[in-house]
């Protein structure tokens, strides 16, 4: 296996974990929606009163939150790789990178 193949595999694994993160957030938001069945979008979506309005996915879930979480992880990856390649890399760099990104959000 070449270094390029190994790096491509790591990048694919990273993308898979990001997809898992989005799925986890969706599950958490779904659980929150089902906490109170009377106010749940799921039970209201098929009612005759809502036939004129069709809810799209953006209304059901906070996709902005998902995109922000994924963006933070992508930024952290890029900054970590830059720091790792630099001469000044030291243990704990990833933690400080994530902390700095989260302060900006």
Q: What confidence tens digit (pLDDT) does each residue in 10-61 have?
A: 889 999 999 999 999 989 888 877 776 665 555 566 665 554 444 444 456 6
3-state per-residue secondary structure call for the chain: CCHHHHHHHHHHHHHHHHHHHHHHHHHHHHHHHCCCHHHCHHHHCCCHHHCCCCCCHHHHCCHHHHHHHHHHHHHHHHHHHHHHHCCCCCCCHHHHHHHHHHHHC
- Predicted TM-score (pTM) of this structure: 0.61
Query: What span, in angstroms and rounded, lies between the C-alpha atoms of 74 and 105?
Result: 14
């Amino acid at each position: 296996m070449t270094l390029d193949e190994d790096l491509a595999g790591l990048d694919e694994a990273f993308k898979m974990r990001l997809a898992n993160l989005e799925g986890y957030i969706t599950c958490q938001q779904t659980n929150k929606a089902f906490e109170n069945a009377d106010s749940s979008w799921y039970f209201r979506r098929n009612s005759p009163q809502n036939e004129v309005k069709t809810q799209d996915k953006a209304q059901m879930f906070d996709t902005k939150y998902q995109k922000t979480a994924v963006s933070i992880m992508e930024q952290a990856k890029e900054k970590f790789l830059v720091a790792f390649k630099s001469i000044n890399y030291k243990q704990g760099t990833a933690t400080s990178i994530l902390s700095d990104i989260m302060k900006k959000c």
